[in-house]
């Protein structure tokens, strides 16, 4: 049976995926690169939430915290790179 915590993990992943869809759809329409980098970041955060679900529900005896943190870090670094790159190309 799926409890409240497991439902929250899945809803967080679904929300992040919905944000990815919205951001990438807006990127295709407008071509603003910051939307692309934000979409990539949210895709990594959605993957991180999926790994969290697997870590806590599917294989609770295996610690996947390092993998979750690495995926989240990669997503945030992509967003940071996009922010810095867009700022430098505007100058």
Low-confidence ranges of the chain (pLDDT < 70): 1, 87-88, 90-91
The mean pLDDT of the chain is 93
3-class SS of residue 2 = coil
pLDDT tens digit string along 10-25?
999 999 999 999 999 9
Contacts of 73 (CB under 8 A, 6+ apart): none
- Other C-beta atoms within 10 Å of 36: how many? 18
| pTM for the whole structure | 0.89
């Amino acid at each position: 049976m799926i409890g409240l915590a497991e439902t929250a993990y899945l809803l967080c992943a679904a929300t992040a995926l919905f944000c990815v869809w919205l951001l990438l759809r807006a990127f295709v329409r407008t071509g603003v690169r910051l939307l692309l980098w934000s979409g990539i970041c949210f895709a990594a955060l959605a993957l991180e939430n999926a790994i969290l679900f697997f870590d806590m529900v599917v294989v609770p005896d295996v610690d996947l915290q390092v993998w979750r943190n690495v995926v989240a870090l990669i997503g945030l670094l992509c967003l940071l790179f996009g922010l810095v790159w867009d700022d430098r190309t505007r100058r």
